[in-house]
Amino acid sequence: MASNGAPEVFTVPNILAAMQTMRSGDNEKKKVAMDFLGHFQKSKDAWTTTINILQGEADAEAQLFAATTLKGKITYDLATQISEADLPALRSQILLLLKKFAPGPKPVRVQLCVCLAILAIQMQTWKDVLPMVVSTLGNDVASHACILDFLRVLPEEVTEGRKITLSEEELAQRTTELLGDNAEQVVQLLINYAQSSAAAATNPQLFECITSWLREVPVSVVVKSPLLGAVMHGLSDDNSLQAAAECLGVICRETKDVDDNLETIQALLPRVLELRPRIRALVEEEDVEGFKAITRVFADAGDSWVLVIAREPQHFRPLVDALLECCARDKDRDVIHYTFGFWYELKQYLTLEHYMQARLQLVDVYSRLVDILLQHLAYPQSDDPNQLDLFDGDREQEEKFREFRHLMGDALKDSCEVMGVSECLSKVLSAIRLWIEKYGGQATPNSVPHWQSLEAPLFAMRAMGRMVEKSESHVLREIMPLLVQIPVNNEKLRFAAIMVFGRYTEWTASHPEYLEPQFQYIVSSFQTDSQEILRAAAQAFKYFCVDCKHLLGTQVDQLQVFYDQILDKLPDPSKEEITEGVANVVGAQKTEDLYRLLKLYCDPLKERLMLKANTAVDDKAKLDLADHINLLTQFVQSVVPYLPSGVENPAVTYWQEVFPVLSTILNNFIGFIPICERVCRCWRFMVISYRTAMTPLLGPLANNLAEGFAKSKQGCFLWATSAILREFSEDREHVDESITQNIYVFFEAQATNVLRTMSDLLPIDLPDVIEDFYRLLIDALLYYPHKLIPSPLFSPIFQAAISALALEKQEPVSAALHYIRDLLTYGGGNPAASSDQLGGAAGAQTQHIVKQLLLTHGEELIKQTMAGMMITFPRDCFADGSGVLLGMFELFPTETTNWVDRTIRMLPAGTVTPVEANRLLSKIREKLQGTDSASSRQIRALLQDFTNTYRRRYVAPRDGLGQLEATRFHFEG
């Protein structure tokens, strides 16, 4: 490895030494070695060095590294580092290496097969790929393994290897030559191999090969050939069961277009059903992996043929029964989840009127499925009725079980839709009554026997909640009185009952006679010390308050006493939930009572807030203070009376009393970001909730936001500013023109402050500010285009946006790109805003200003956008980046083509060949000659393909982007 600036030397001993260092425990040396090996993999020396390692006697790990490096070189560097005349020699080297590694190790052999496949795709003059590979590798057993590996990876690399630098036309031609023209020959090769020996007939590689080629060979050809018999035979052998099952599953999936494959499906159905006796046998043998494999086959068949099952339920009933048997025999819940997709898809058809007859024939299947699911939902049994930890402390297993129950809950919902909700709820009711009958009398204050059998139907009922209509008036009337009697001394049962009550609050709102006992059950649950019960109770309490707020109006004063007593006992998320609940109840009361109720509920919160502010010295206390501000925000969001314009809003009257407290807290904790964010969030929601009624607070609010940003440089102040800009824009009703003008002046002052900050600091130090700034500017451009576009700030804002594109974080880059895309629309005939001020001469003037700006800074925009798409943009920004390029091509086709050309010529030497660059520009100019609207979109696709290909081949250079480096933004305002 090089040191002290010496050039790096990539010899075999150096590479092996670096690999040895990677196994050591010295992190500093490992980092140096990693950088060294990374440079090596991109160097020209890597070609000969990797081949030398593979030809030598290095250990298996070094050989695998060399083979993987060679694969990367062929994928990314073949066109730029190897001449066409040297390709046959490279091919010969790889074939020789394949002969050497035919016996193994398998990972190295597979990587070399991938190398050969990728070379075959790019070496367009190589027309006899398959014959040459087969004849060169020979006919011994080791060579067969090598040939099978090559046959398996070839279709995968051709159809999924989008990293290869061929044009679409070249790739399509090569696909035909390598796959389409060889399909028949490959099928015959595989048949011959399968029939060559008993070992060959059960070789997993055979079935992996068939699976790989099924994307090229018509499935009917395979089903009619001896290969199907080979697959079925492979299912009977433990060695090949997994591969054969996967192969048969893919065969079934290839018949998904059932109307085109009816004959093939009829041939496959009896062969698949032959496997049903294996279900019981594998379960009795406790062969979990085999049971999974067979279940996946049935599930693949069911998923693929679900339409014909709905058409001919009687004919396909054995397949449905086989899937049901897999569910029923799955005592350890290992395979049932494979069937969930089938039950969902079948339900989608059975609930259509057209398939009503099939629904009648299969409704009993779903009824049995519900019985099975109710058994699977139960927690594991225990001899000790008080034992609640049934997973021996294995939290991962317990969490897995909980997640799995929710998946089963989805299957229960499917069953509800087929059977009807009342029928499903009746099963829940029967299970509850059965427990009461068998064990209810044995329950004591200290023990609940077999609680698992009661908890499971409660969970099922909770899962079905979304399916139950408010009008259901039979089964629930019987269940609800039973639930309020659920023993409260068992935490699991109490939790389950609380969650059920919380899920059915809409039904309870329509049946108020059941409200009081349920609500009291929830309220009494707050007296427990269990954090899980407290969280559940808070969530249920919230839903009761939201859905039954009009019914709880008579208790609004008593609720405040309870709220004030319980609040400090709860974890923070639960505090917000019960606050949201009581705030909804307050918000539902008469307008004339709102001021009194806000004071009743929020004055204690305000007092807590001031006390916390006076004692908050460490970060933990400050975070607690920040979270407490959110409780006031809940009232701001929920207590929103509807009043005619000009009438004093009692909520705003109250918040005027709270505003100075928030302002003081903000000033005192301006350096603590979470507090700044929570205060800004509260103020933002005040503006959103009360809109123009907030006019009395606009002055102090604007001053606080301006001072807050100036002191803290935090984006949250811009986020709150955007709400004011939107709600008091000129197109809003009942907004005085002078207020609108003052708000725009305030916005410009904020924008000037941000531009100064962006001039002083690098974008990498301001990602959140940049994101919030350009979100704000999107609103400014939408609501005030006639003021922003002629403004002296318009050009520096655009230049700052271009400099922000150098960031590698998704949110700020997306915001800047969205702003630029909106801005581009004002240069054409369809601007983002349809403001009256943009008509006639004003509109033409606006368009002229935007076009002049783009002509002045367009080349920098194109350069930075393409650099981002090729090197720095996060993946989620690609679509917006290509949208910017498309917009520029639509406005300035000739100029943008030239800017793209110059940008490509700036790329580091050797990363793009002149042929590739010229091909791209030629295609762009060709598309520009087109007169239809699709031409621009085709150019966008061309640039996306080019930048995607470049991005896959190269990472950002470690020594910077050279000429593509972003220009530093400077602002003189």
Share of the chain above pLDDT 90, in %: 58
18-74 residue pLDDT tens? 888 887 777 788 888 888 888 888 788 888 889 998 888 888 888 899 899 999 888
> Is the pLDDT assigned to residue 962 strictly greater than 60?
no
> Which pLDDT value is given to residue 172?
83
pLDDT confidence tier of residue 954, bands split at 50, 70 and 90: low
> Which pLDDT value is given to residue 780?
92
What's the whole-number mean pLDDT along residues 799-819? 94
What's the whole-number mean pLDDT along residues 199-207? 90
> Which pLDDT value is given to residue 836?
61
What's the whole-number mean pLDDT along residues 858-879? 90
Contacts of 354-360 with CB under 8 Å at 24 or more apart are: 355/310, 355/311, 357/313, 358/309, 358/310, 358/311, 358/313, 359/418
Share of the chain above pLDDT 70, in %: 94
What's the whole-number mean pLDDT along residues 735-754? 87
pLDDT confidence tier of residue 926, bands split at 50, 70 and 90: confident
Ranges 255-269, 683-697, 915-929: which has the least confidence: 915-929
> Which pLDDT value is given to residue 81?
82
pLDDT confidence tier of residue 899, bands split at 50, 70 and 90: very high
> Which pLDDT value is given to residue 257?
93
> Is the pLDDT assigned to residue 684 strictly greater than 90?
yes
CA distance 363 to 642: 49
Q: Are the CB atoms for 320 and 364 separated by under 8 Å? A: no
What's the whole-number mean pLDDT along residues 488-499? 90
Which H/E stretch holds residue 652?
A: helix 650-668
What's the whole-number mean pLDDT along residues 598-609? 96
* pLDDT, mean over the chain: 89
What's the whole-number mean pLDDT along residues 146-169? 80
> Is the pLDDT assigned to residue 2 strictly greater than 60?
no
CA distance 537 to 320: 41
What's the whole-number mean pLDDT along residues 715-732? 86
> Which pLDDT value is given to residue 531?
92
- 98's CB contacts (< 8 A; 6+ apart) are 109, 112, 113, 116, 137, 146, 150
> Is the pLDDT assigned to residue 803 strictly greater than 80?
yes
> Is the pLDDT assigned to residue 162 strictly greater than 60?
no
> Which pLDDT value is given to residue 769?
93
CA distances to 58, 215, 933 from 230, rounded to whole Å, are 39, 19, 53
- 185's CB contacts (< 8 A; 6+ apart) are 130
**Best-predicted range by mean pLDDT (129-138, 552-561, 864-873):** 552-561
Which H/E stretch holds residue 963?
A: none
Q: Are the CB atoms for 66 and 50 separated by under 8 Å? A: yes
What's the whole-number mean pLDDT along residues 752-758? 92
651-672 residue pLDDT tens? 999 999 999 999 999 999 999 9
CA distance 902 to 814: 25
What's the whole-number mean pLDDT along residues 578-599? 96
> Is the pLDDT assigned to residue 960 strictly greater than 70?
no
Ranges 385-389, 686-690, 940-944: which has the least confidence: 385-389
Q: Are the CB atoms for 578 and 617 separated by under 8 Å? A: no
SS3 at position 444: strand
> Which pLDDT value is given to residue 965?
67
CA distance 884 to 906: 20
pLDDT confidence tier of residue 959, bands split at 50, 70 and 90: very low
pLDDT confidence tier of residue 781, bands split at 50, 70 and 90: very high
> Which pLDDT value is given to residue 946?
82
450-477 residue pLDDT tens? 899 999 999 999 999 888 998 888 899 9
> Which pLDDT value is given to residue 325?
96
> Which pLDDT value is given to residue 958?
42
> Is the pLDDT assigned to residue 837 strictly greater than 80?
no
> Which pLDDT value is given to residue 461?
93
Contacts of 305-310 with CB under 8 Å at 24 or more apart are: 305/252, 305/255, 305/258, 305/265, 305/269, 306/342, 306/345, 306/346, 306/349, 307/258, 307/349, 308/258, 308/262, 308/265, 309/346, 309/358, 310/346, 310/349, 310/350, 310/355, 310/358
> Is the pLDDT assigned to residue 3 strictly greater than 50?
no
What's the whole-number mean pLDDT along residues 567-571? 92
pLDDT confidence tier of residue 348, bands split at 50, 70 and 90: very high
CA distance 793 to 756: 11
> Which pLDDT value is given to residue 444?
83
pLDDT confidence tier of residue 703, bands split at 50, 70 and 90: very high
pLDDT confidence tier of residue 928, bands split at 50, 70 and 90: confident
> Which pLDDT value is given to residue 952?
63
> Which pLDDT value is given to residue 935?
73
pLDDT confidence tier of residue 323, bands split at 50, 70 and 90: very high
| 936 half-sphere exposure, CB direction, 13 A CA radius | 16
> Which pLDDT value is given to residue 33?
82
- 570's CB contacts (< 8 A; 6+ apart) are 534, 538, 578
CA distances to 769, 903, 950 from 806, rounded to whole Å, are 15, 15, 17
